[in-house]
């Protein structure tokens, strides 16, 4: 990733624990990677719903 913008988010403890767990087990390399993966999946799902409506 050439450029990244740092943002701050607030999550419920349960969601933060899921992120920490994914990093601790090596499933993801960082908290940022967990969030990027989740956002990509959400974006794809949203796009699919939009295309299905047409």
- Confidence (pLDDT) at 1: 57
Spatial separation of the C-alpha atoms in residues 18 and 5, rounded to whole Å? 23
Spatial separation of the C-alpha atoms in residues 15 and 35, rounded to whole Å? 11
Asked if 35 and 46 count as a contact pair (C-beta separation under 8 A), the reply is: no
- Confidence (pLDDT) at 2: 75
Helix/strand/coil (H/E/C) assignment for every residue in the chain = CCCCCCCCCCCCHHHHHHHHHHHHCCCCCCHHHHHHHHHHHHHHHHHHHHHHHC
Mean pLDDT of 27-44: 97
Mean pLDDT of 28-52: 95
- Confidence (pLDDT) at 19: 98
């Amino acid at each position: 990733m050439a450029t990244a913008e740092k943002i701050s988010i607030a999550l419920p403890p349960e969601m933060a624990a899921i992120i920490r767990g994914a990093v601790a087990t090596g499933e993801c390399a960082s908290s940022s990677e967990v969030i990027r993966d989740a956002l990509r999946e959400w974006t794809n799902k949203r796009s699919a719903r939009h295309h299905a409506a047409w």
